[in-house]
Amino acid sequence: QEQNEMADLLEPVMGRKVIVTGGTGYIGSHTVVELIAAGYEPVIIDNLYNSDISVLEGIRAITGVTPKFWDYDLCDSQKLEEVFRAEGKVDAIIHFAAYKAVGESVRKPLDYYRNNLTSLMNLLAAMDRHDTPALVFSSSCTVYGQPDTLPVTETSPVKEAASPYGYTKQAGETIIRDTIAARPAHKAVSLRYFNPIGAHPTAFIGELPRGVPENLVPYITQTAIGLRDELKVFGTDYDTPDGSCIRDYLHVVDLAKAHVMALRRMLDGENKAGYEVFNLGMGKGVSVLEAIAAFEKASGVKLKYTITGRRAGDIEKIWADPSLANRELGWKTEITIEEAMETAWRWENRLKNKE
Ligand code: NAD
């Protein structure tokens, strides 16, 4: 008996294997860093459609580990099968890979439906064939549209999607819920991200927008560094205290940590329902003008911006009630918006110095 207990104590707790799709992308790469720090063994699948292989060097610079990497398209189910066969037992999957540009999805809906839904369904089928017990899915606060009451909780109604991108998140959640309902041994969590910003504090990894950024913070930092002439604030005539739109910004490292906590809950903890949904946000609304002020304070740079008309498709205001994730995952944000802006600025400067 005593010998057995000793053997248990010596059993390594390290080395649980997690497939991370989209792991060289913005949120994926930060999550890979947190997985390594927590003792997991991440294996990345990414076709580099929207990321760069050099991200692996950034991950190594932070963690001392170069994660295993498969340059495969998840829409190719045979390639996916090859990965699962080669990797053997996989404990969980975190599924980040998707196209994510809202505006582009309106112009190319079929590309978005094909890529985002085919890859998810291929992954669920592989999970079934190889009996992988747990999945984390990247969802989004876009599923709520413009909510009737704020802050939004997980039981707030899901509104009709405003874009094909948004619909791929709604449909993705439903596909996962139904699949898990048919497989009592498997578990899944959808994480509805609010607005992730910033970069790793080491500035070895960060957001790499291709072309003109659609998101506010990369646009701010690119303007401040001189890559863009000026920032356009889309509307200051909204029904908000300063008239500009309100969002719930959270730092990408805080967001990454929530994935590790969601895995822990499914693999070791108390996930009684097979499928669960959590909002991930700071729980605080910040206006565009306040975000600009936070950047100016953090960087010491005065930003050039003008106020223009509203942008089609923008909702007025949204922020999260993250109390379910606080309570059930033991997760909460720790990084302030000023600190987040400082990391975004450090990252933009590093990109400039690398040129
Ligand atoms: P990202 O574009 O930086 O990362 C996604 C990665 O997936 C990229 O590296 C891309 O090359 C890869 N990919 C896409 N399609 C693929 C395919 N068929 N096969 C293999 N790899 C593929 O995006 P991100 O900001 O890190 O977002 C990650 C996830 O979070 C996405 O699902 C996105 O919709 C969701 N999300 C992002 C935000 C945000 O503001 N960044 C907000 C809410 C939800």
> What is 79-106 written as a DSSP string?
HHHHHHHHH----EEEE------HHHHH
Q: Is residue 24 lining ligand 1, measured as CB closer than 6 Å?
A: yes
pLDDT one-digit tens code per residue, 158-192: 999 989 999 999 999 999 999 999 998 999 999 99
Q: Which atom of ligand 1 is nearest to 141's Cα?
A: 43
Which residues are CB-contacts of 263 (< 8 A; sequence separation ≥ 6)? 18, 40, 92, 94, 134, 136
Q: Tell me how far the alpha carbon of residue 99 lies from the centroid of ligand 1, in angstroms.
A: 6
Give me the count of residues in the chain: 355
For the stretch 181-187, contacts whose Cβ atoms lie closer than 8 Å and that sit 24 or more positions apart, written own/partner, are 181/274, 181/275, 183/128, 183/274, 184/274, 185/131, 185/133, 186/127, 186/128, 186/132, 186/133, 186/134, 186/135, 186/274, 187/133, 187/134, 187/135, 187/266, 187/271, 187/274, 187/275
Q: Which atom of ligand 1 is nearest to 169's Cα?
A: 34
Single out the catalytic residue among 40, 165, 167, 238.
165
Q: Does 7 score more than 60 pLDDT? A: no
Q: Ligand 1 pocket test: which of 100, 114, 120 has the largest number of ligand atoms within 8 Å of its C-beta? A: 100
Residue 210 banded pLDDT, cuts 50, 70, 90:
confident
Average pLDDT over residues 324-350: 97
Q: Is residue 51 lining ligand 1, measured as CB closer than 6 Å?
A: yes
Of residues 128 and 9, more confidently modeled: 128
Q: Tell me how far the alpha carbon of residue 24 lies from the centroid of ligand 1, in angstroms.
A: 9
Residue 354 banded pLDDT, cuts 50, 70, 90:
confident
Q: What is the DSSP letter of 196?
A: E
Q: Is residue 28 lining ligand 1, measured as CB closer than 6 Å?
A: yes
Q: Which atom of ligand 1 is nearest to 46's Cα?
A: 21
pLDDT (0 to 100) of residue 269: 78
**Cα 102 to Cα 119: distance, rounded to the nearest angstrom:** 18
Q: Is residue 46 lining ligand 1, measured as CB closer than 6 Å?
A: yes
Residue nearest atom 13 of ligand 1, based on CA coordinates:
97
Q: Is residue 75 lining ligand 1, measured as CB closer than 6 Å?
A: yes
- Is 165 one of the annotated active-site residues of the chain? yes
Residue 10 banded pLDDT, cuts 50, 70, 90:
very low
Q: Does 12 score more than 50 pLDDT? A: no
Q: Is residue 47 lining ligand 1, measured as CB closer than 6 Å?
A: yes
Q: Which atom of ligand 1 is nearest to 28's Cα?
A: 26
Q: Ligand 1 pocket test: which of 19, 43, 46 has the largest number of ligand atoms within 8 Å of its C-beta? A: 46
pTM of the model: 0.95
Q: Is residue 198 lining ligand 1, measured as CB closer than 6 Å?
A: no
pLDDT one-digit tens code per residue, 75-113: 999 999 999 999 999 999 999 999 999 989 999 999 999
**Cα 74 to Cα 120: distance, rounded to the nearest angstrom:** 8
Report H helices in the chain.
2-10, 26-37, 55-63, 77-87, 102-107, 109-112, 119-129, 164-181, 216-225, 252-267, 288-299, 323-328, 337-354
Burial of 12 (0-12, 13-18, 19+ CB in 10 A): exposed
**CB–CB of 42/35 below 8 Å?**
yes
Residue carrying the six token digits 């108390």: 270
Q: Tell me how far the alpha carbon of residue 9 lies from the centroid of ligand 1, in angstroms.
A: 39
Angle (CA) 95-335-68 rounded to 5° is 35
Q: Is residue 26 lining ligand 1, measured as CB closer than 6 Å?
A: yes
**CB–CB of 194/248 below 8 Å?**
yes
